[in-house]
Amino acid sequence: MIGIILLVILVMILFGVFPAWPHSRSWGYGPSGIVGVILVVLIILLLLGRV
């Protein structure tokens, strides 16, 4: 259950730091790349049953 909540929160953060939004346009792809990597790791852990 906690894994699903973390997944939803990370997806929302990923949309928030995507460089298409005006507030994050100057940040580049750094924050969305970092959150994307965290999201992939969390998905892998969910699939393996570790979270």
Q: What is the pTM of this model?
A: 0.61
pLDDT at position 24: 66
pLDDT the model gives residue 42: 81
pLDDT number for residue 30: 76
- 1-51: pLDDT as tens digits: 777 888 788 888 877 776 676 776 777 777 777 877 887 888 888 888 876
The tokens 């979270």 sit on which residue?
Answer: 51
Task: Write down the pLDDT at residue 7.
Answer: 79
Q: Which helix (DSSP H) or strand (DSSP E) does residue 50 occupy? A: none
Range 7-44 burial, b when 16+ CB lie within 10 A, else e: beebeebbeebbeeeeeeeeeeeebbeebeeebeebee
d(CA 20, CA 16): 9
